[in-house]
């Protein structure tokens, strides 16, 4: 793998990881909000 290909590979992996992290954070916030709403209804 050439240095340019390696840089591109690392850049793509980093952006994929960032998107995955944001999706994971959104799910955590969603579950937290659902829990708060359900507790508030009782």
The secondary structure of 19-42, three-state, reads HHHHHHHHHHHHHHHHHHHHHHHC
- C-alpha 17/C-alpha 25 separation (Å) is 12
Q: How many domains does the chain have?
A: 1
pLDDT tens-digit series, residues 1-39 = 899 999 999 999 999 999 999 999 999 999 999 999 999
* pLDDT (0 to 100) of residue 17: 98
Question: What pLDDT, on the 0 to 100 scale, is given for residue 1?
Answer: 85
pLDDT of 42 above 90 = no
Pair 14, 6: CB distance under 8 Å: no
- pTM of the predicted protein model: 0.76
- Expressed as residue numbers, the domain containing 16 is 1-42
């Amino acid at each position: 793998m050439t240095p340019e290909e390696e840089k591109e590979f690392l850049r793509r992996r980093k952006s994929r990881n960032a998107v995955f992290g944001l999706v994971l954070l959104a799910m955590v916030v969603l579950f937290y909000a659902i829990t708060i709403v359900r507790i508030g209804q009782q």
